[in-house]
Amino acid sequence: MKPDFAQYGFEYQDALFAAYIGGSQAHGAKVSGTDDTDWYGLFIEPSEKALGIDRVEHFVYSTGGKPGGNGPDDVDVCLYTLRKWAGLAAKGNPSALHFLFAPLQYRHELWDYVQDRTTSFLAVGHVRPFLGFADDQMKRLLGEKGQKNIHRASLEEAHGYDTKYAMHVIRLYGEAKELMETGKITLRVPMPQS
C-alpha cells in the first residue's frame, strides 16, 4: 500500500516510486518508547522540475525537530528524486544504498528494473562513506558533535553512554564489511505500526 506523504505537504504523491521504513526500525535498534518513525522514499520529479530552474531533488519533513531529538510519536520523511538517489547511491552513501536492500512498504513495478541492477551501484570504494558515517556516530557518542537525545537519557544513565550511538557505529562497520564481502546489506523487516 502506498504511504500517504501528501498529509505532510508532499506535492508528488502520484509520482512515488518506492518507500520503506528505515532508521532504527530497519536496523533492529528501535528502543521502545523513545524512537520516531523514519520514512524514506523515491519519486520521479515532473519534467518541468527536472529541466527547469526551479528544480526539486528531495522532500524532507519532520513532526519533531525539537531540542533533544524526536520522540516516539514523531515521524520523519525523507524522499529523494530517483535521479538524486542514483547519484548518492553511485557515490556509496549508506542511506541511499539501503534502498537496494530494504524491505519496501511500497514499490512501483519498475523498481524491479533498478533492483535487478544492484551491482551497477556498488564499488569497493564505497567502504569510505560507511567509515565516515561511523566516525560521525562515534563523535556523537563521545559528545564531540551534535546534541544529546533527551529521550535516551535512561540509556546514558544505565550504561554511561548513549548505547544507540554505539550501536550505529558497530552497525555501520558491520554493513561495510557485509557489503564488501557479499555485495549485500541485511536490513530487518520493520515492526508493524501501532
**Could you tell me if residue 194 is inside a domain?**
no
Give me the count of residues in the chain: 194
pLDDT number for residue 179: 95
**Could you tell me if residue 82 is inside a domain?**
yes
Q: Which amino acid is at 65?
A: G
Cell of 76: 520523519
Give the residue carrying C-alpha cell 537496494: 100
pLDDT number for residue 145: 85
**Could you tell me if residue 74 is inside a domain?**
yes
**Could you tell me if residue 191 is inside a domain?**
no
> How would you class 159 by CB atoms within 10 Å of its CB: exposed for 0-12, middle for 13-18, buried for 19 or more?
exposed
pLDDT number for residue 151: 65
**Could you tell me if residue 75 is inside a domain?**
yes
Domain count of the fold of the chain: 1
Backbone angles phi, psi at 40, to 5 degrees: -125, 145
Residues spanned by the domain of 64: 6-182
pLDDT number for residue 192: 46
100 to each of 16, 71, 95, 114, 135, how far by Cα in Å?
16, 28, 10, 8, 23
Mean pLDDT of successive 10-residue stretches along the chain, which has 194 residues: 94 96 78 78 91 87 75 87 95 95 94 92 95 93 78 80 86 94 84 47
**Could you tell me if residue 77 is inside a domain?**
yes
Q: CB-based contacts of 111: which residues, under 8 Å, 6+ apart? A: 17, 18, 104
Q: CB-based contacts of 43: which residues, under 8 Å, 6+ apart? A: 12, 15, 16, 17, 59, 79, 80, 81, 82
Backbone angles phi, psi at 115, to 5 degrees: -65, -30
Dihedral angle of Cα 82, 87, 93, 94, to the nearest 10 degrees: 30
**Could you tell me if residue 1 is inside a domain?**
no
78 to each of 57, 71, 86, 129, 159, how far by Cα in Å?
11, 17, 15, 19, 31
Residue 183, strand partner residues: none
pLDDT number for residue 194: 42
State whether residue 21 is helix, strand or coil. Answer: strand
Quick one: which of 187, 161, 156 has its CA closest to 174?
187
State whether residue 20 is helix, strand or coil. Answer: strand
pTM above 0.75, yes or no: yes
Domain of residue 34, CATH code: 3.30.460.10
pLDDT number for residue 189: 59
**Could you tell me if residue 114 is inside a domain?**
yes
